[in-house]
Chains A and B, each alone.
Chain A
Amino acid sequence: MKPAPFDYLAPQSVAETLQLLARHGAEGKVLAGGQSLMPMLNFRLAQPEAVIDINNVAELSYITREQGELRIGALTRHAELERSPIVAAHWPLLTEALRWLAHPPIRNRGTVGGSVAHADPAAELPVALTALDARFIAESHRGGRVLDPGEMFAGPLQSGLEPDELLVEIRVPAVPSPSGCAFVEHARRHGDFALGGVAVVLVRDGDRCREGGARIVLLGAGPGPRRVPEAEALLAAGPVDEESARAAGEAAGRAAEPPSDPHADAGHRRRLAVALTRRAVLQAWERA
């Protein structure tokens, strides 16, 4: 439970951080909130040569709304996002998702960028950000680029970032109205990584969703956030009601590829995807 030796580096700016990442590459590890990295260091599951602590890089901590788009600095703490009135007013799905994320002490330290870059398939933020079709801005000494959710969440604990890249910002587009969203999950204890969960965003067009206006993303049901196109399509093809919500749940169950572990086998997790998707669709529709 004591980390192996490493060099500790504490850059003061993004520019300095990018230089350090260029120098250390895959042997350097960025420390943000430390809620995943520190246990991995203590268990010696991660033994980087250098830990690059970006907590002094104040320019990476902000929440702004520009031309209807939400911009979140990567070092923004979960708790800051959770309490942001801008986020609550325009992207309530994020506020709701954050309430499921671990416990207040963890949310006080943990960062939005850290959650995204850690790319845990059972984490809430990657799922919610996929449902909101967010974009991820990465920078390196070579320049910057934009990743979409599919690129960012490449695999279990595998982000799409190159070893010399730093995630600097997350951009969330405006959600058209009228719309409603819901985030639902089930864990054995509140705050644990969930056995199953789902984020739903529904843009209303009369008694059904606008074409392309439904996004349904499962948590813990694959190598990364798992969209359910079949369910999304059927909520635009006909009225949203008990019956179509049930059908969306069934589609989610077919799309889910959950793991088995001592807490629940894949069968139970798939049944959870069915039930939670049905509930979330109905809840989101009620709010739309």
Chain B
Amino acid sequence: MTESGAREPFVGRSIARREDARLLTGAGEFVDDLPADGALHVAFVRSPHASAHIEAVDLEAARALTGVVCVVDAAGLGLGPLCTPVTAPSSFSPPRPLLADGVVRFAGEPVVAVVAESPYLAEDASELVEIEYEPTAALSDCRAAADLSAPQVHDGHANALYDVTYDSGGVDAALANAAVVVEREFRHPRLAASPIETRGVLAQPAGDGLQIWSSSQVPHALARVVASLLQLPESTVRVTSPDIGGGFGVKAHVYAEEIVVAALALRLGRPVKWIEDRAENLLAASHARDQIVTVRAAADADGRLLAFDADVMCDTGAYGVHPHGHILEALGTPGMLQGPYRLPHYRYRSRAVATHKAPEGAYRGVGLPVAAFVHERLMDILASELDLDRAEIRRRNLIAADELPLTTHTGQRYDSGDYVAALELALAQIDYPSFAERRERARAAGRLIGIGISCYVEYTGVNRNVYQGRGMVAIPGTESAHLSLSDDGGVSVWTTLPAIGQGTETTFAQLVADELGLELERVRVERPDTTVGPLTGSGTFASRSAILGGGALLESTRVLRERMLEDAAALLEADIADLRLRDGAVHVVGAPQSAIDAAELLRAAADEDRYRISAGFDSEGVAYPYATHVCEVEVDPETGGVAITRYVIAEDCGRVINPQIVEGQVAGATAQGIGGALLESLIYSEDGQLITGSFMDYLLPTAAELPAFEIHHLQTPAPGNPTGAKGVGEGGTLAPGGAIAGAVSHALSAEFNALPLLPGRVAAAPLALKLSGPR
């Protein structure tokens, strides 16, 4: 790949993250750090009710407070709702009023925006806003909401905003003739992505339009939406990415709050800023998961899967999210319920059900952590029914390397790799064969230990074809890159993918430096800016940066390299085949003194854009990373405490650009998966009040709860994209639910099919267990 024969490529090496010195020493520049002289601050007055009619709004007392500049409700804002086109069948995508307009549909929905000289004054004035509500029946249970007789969250529409079925045929016959059929209900809690930096936006008038800085994973989508709703030409809305303190999907959406801030800046002619606080983030930014999945699973006497008959019910909350709509999980979970296994027959019904809860959106893994939790629990349960070893039943069902590529019932085209090899590697590393004996010894000593296995395959780097096919038509699916050559031979690089902590300032530079034969420090990876180059893109989500961002970078560097060589060939009167790019100059092989540098090329260029190159990219195929996680736990049967004593991961994310960054992604995602398995849960009361609204009650895992991760790699380059990467941002979240529930079930000879594993439920299980003695 590299033009420089002498130097070892940067790709494949653990180059230290170039962004870390800045980020770790407090020199990062997050939205709240940006200079914004004279900026006004917004506070949102949010509905205390899950479901109510707004009878009257009195803003006068708030407006009268000194330091308050403007107070608006929906009527005062005067903007239409945020509409998200979704063309999936049996689907209604509800419009989202920017401020609640006559009706509130979840506790935390913004009703009034207060603009003041300081955030303190804005909050003081918020307390003076008087809103009279007439509360109506709140739906906080999606099963009840799915009943056709239930009150409608959106008048005139059944609460199942998306309701689809699939049937491969043959399911009933398989169920009737199988050696074993199990039926179980699986529950996954509602989760918050919880980036360390909450949402935040700064908007200021610029020229005929606006400049916006937002802590967003989707700057291009934000620019499109703001231009459309504020009726501005797209060219006048500029969105620039600051440093972003984590996203994990919750910032992959365009939010009503961002648009309101932009509208107020335009109206007031002054910079306007909103920095979300943690209570708002937990209450009103998008949530995720929250599913009930019921499956009948059939297998033959050898444990080979015959059929799944599944009912997937996703509590999607009061609205969809932009640009993904309301179908993210209801589409993703049944789409991957088959997992990495052969499944002859499959039938499902999947629904996205509206309730009076915060809207559900993307969170690392999107639908797939629930799918993996379900298929891994089913593997364990079937093994137990058939008295088979849990590793053996997986071996018998995993799709073999020579069966790939393979297209599943739901149209996933598993691309490459060796799922069985990942399983065997993880089992060998944890010394699986000795565990049964270790467990017996521990039991004899009054200690309960267990082991859990979790295999998955996931899709990443979703392309245009797939988004269009899903009906998510507001997502372009493509990404772009822009390169600009400078006099010193270095290049500046822009992409449509904001860095959200995953190190693309380093990995993108590694790719570009190798392609152009440059030293790393001569590649400047700039923050996304919607006015640089004619760039359009989707944003940082679906583990797409390395695949689609990488693809766009390879395409643009190819063009740049060709132009440099072509022009140098003309200037040097040399054959292109004899030219090499190195250190920002073109050299003639075997004639070290004959070289032409970037400054000369730029001077001689026919037009000023010759060395400013933009390229769009769409991948040919979606990529399918996979892994096996195996963990050991010790359970305290009296307290219900679960300690993870070992955690082994064997994963394949395709061609690795930077091993250390890959391991960081795997560890971070696995930590979040462990949080969902043991600790985290957004809980609503029956009347739709969030009762876990702070980090005192919404429990994130800390270093004290996490094991050391032992990470092992397989590497099968992805065949469907030029970087060969499979995407590694999310996979780690998929496996912990199944691995930990499996291990705790094993330790207690019990069966846990709902997360998180609350201590009270874990402690209740051993009541049926005969122990040799108390611990």
Contact = CB atoms under 8 A, between A and B. Distances in A.
Interface of A: 1-5, 43-44, 186, 188-193, 195, 261-265, 267-268, 271-272, 275-276, 278
Nearest to A269: B760
B639 interface: yes
7 contacts: A186-B641, A261-B697, A262-B683, A264-B758, A265-B760, A268-B760, A268-B764
A21 B731 CA distance: 57
B759 A268 contact: yes
B176 interface: no
A2 B123 CA distance: 7
B119 A195 contact: no
Interface in B263-318: 277-279
A216 B692 CA distance: 32
B691 A189 contact: no
B704 A191 contact: yes
Given A189-B705, A268-B640, A2 B119 contact: yes
Contact of B279 (A1, A189, A265): A1
Which among B683, B701, B704, B763 has the greatest number of chain A C-beta atoms within 10 A? B763
Which among A4, A193, A268, A276 has the greatest number of chain B C-beta atoms within 10 A? A268
A268 B759 CA distance: 8
A271 B694 CA distance: 27
B99 to A, nearest CB: 21
A271 B763 contact: yes
B679 interface: yes
Nearest to A276: B639
Contacts of B119: 2
Contacts of A268: 640, 759-760, 763-764
Contacts of B699: 188-189, 192, 263
B679 A189 contact: yes
A1 B278 CA distance: 8
A275 B701 contact: no
Contacts of B759: 186, 188, 195, 263-264, 268
Contacts of B704: 189-191
A272 B636 CA distance: 11
B639 A186 contact: yes
Contact of B758 (A191, A193, A263, A271): A263
Contacts of A190: 702, 704-705
Contacts of B679: 188-189
Contacts of A261: 697
Interface string B742-760: 0000000000000000111
A25 B242 CA distance: 47
A275 B760 contact: no
Interface string B635-650: 0001111000000000
A272 B639 contact: yes
B681 interface: yes
Given A193-B696, A263-B758, A278-B774, 16 more contacts: A1-B277, A1-B278, A2-B120, A3-B120, A4-B123, A190-B705, A192-B696, A192-B699, A195-B759, A262-B697, A263-B697, A263-B759, A265-B760, A268-B640, A268-B764, A272-B638
A195 B762 CA distance: 14
Contacts of A195: 759
Interface in B117-149: 119-120, 123-124, 127
Interface string B34-62: 00000000000000000000000000000
Interface of chain A, main secondary structure: loop
B641 A264 contact: no
Contacts of A271: 638, 763
Contacts of B705: 189-190
Interface of B: 119-120, 123-124, 127, 277-279, 638-641, 679, 681, 683, 691-692, 694, 696-697, 699, 701-702, 704-705, 758-760, 763-764, 774
A263 B760 CA distance: 8
A262 B692 contact: yes
Which among B277, B639, B641 has the greatest number of chain A C-beta atoms within 10 A? B639
A264 to B, nearest CB: 5
A59 to B, nearest CB: 33
Contacts of A272: 638-639
Contacts of B278: 1
A190 B763 CA distance: 18
A175 B683 CA distance: 45
Contacts of B774: 278
A191 to B, nearest CB: 7
Which 10 residue pairs across A and B have the least CB separation, nearest first? A268-B760, A1-B277, A275-B638, A186-B639, A190-B704, A2-B120, A262-B683, A2-B123, A264-B760, A2-B119
B124 A4 contact: yes
Which among B127, B638, B696 has the greatest number of chain A C-beta atoms within 10 A? B638
Contacts of B279: 1, 43
Given A4-B124, A271-B638, A189 B702 contact: yes
B761 to A, nearest CB: 9
Which among B640, B699, B759, B774 has the greatest number of chain A C-beta atoms within 10 A? B759
A40 B679 CA distance: 24
Which among A188, A189, A195 has the greatest number of chain B C-beta atoms within 10 A? A188
Nearest to A1: B277
B686 to A, nearest CB: 13
A195 B127 CA distance: 34
A128 B692 CA distance: 29
A152 B701 CA distance: 35
Which among A3, A191, A272, A276 has the greatest number of chain B C-beta atoms within 10 A? A272
A275 B641 CA distance: 13
Contacts of A276: 639
A265 B683 CA distance: 14
A219 to B, nearest CB: 14
A195 B638 CA distance: 13
A191 B679 CA distance: 14
B295 to A, nearest CB: 27
Contacts of B640: 268
Nearest to A43: B279
A192 to B, nearest CB: 7
A152 B639 CA distance: 30
Contacts of A186: 639, 641, 759
A1 B122 CA distance: 11
B692 A275 contact: no
Contacts of B763: 268, 271
B282 to A, nearest CB: 12
A258 B279 CA distance: 27
Nearest to A185: B639
A189 B695 CA distance: 12
Contacts of B277: 1
A275 B637 CA distance: 10
A148 to B, nearest CB: 30
A264 B681 CA distance: 13
A3 B640 CA distance: 38
A190 B704 CA distance: 7
B108 to A, nearest CB: 14
Contacts of B641: 186
A91 B187 CA distance: 47
B424 to A, nearest CB: 34
A288 to B, nearest CB: 21
Nearest to B683: A262
Nearest to B764: A268
A18 B702 CA distance: 41
A126 to B, nearest CB: 18
A44 B704 CA distance: 31
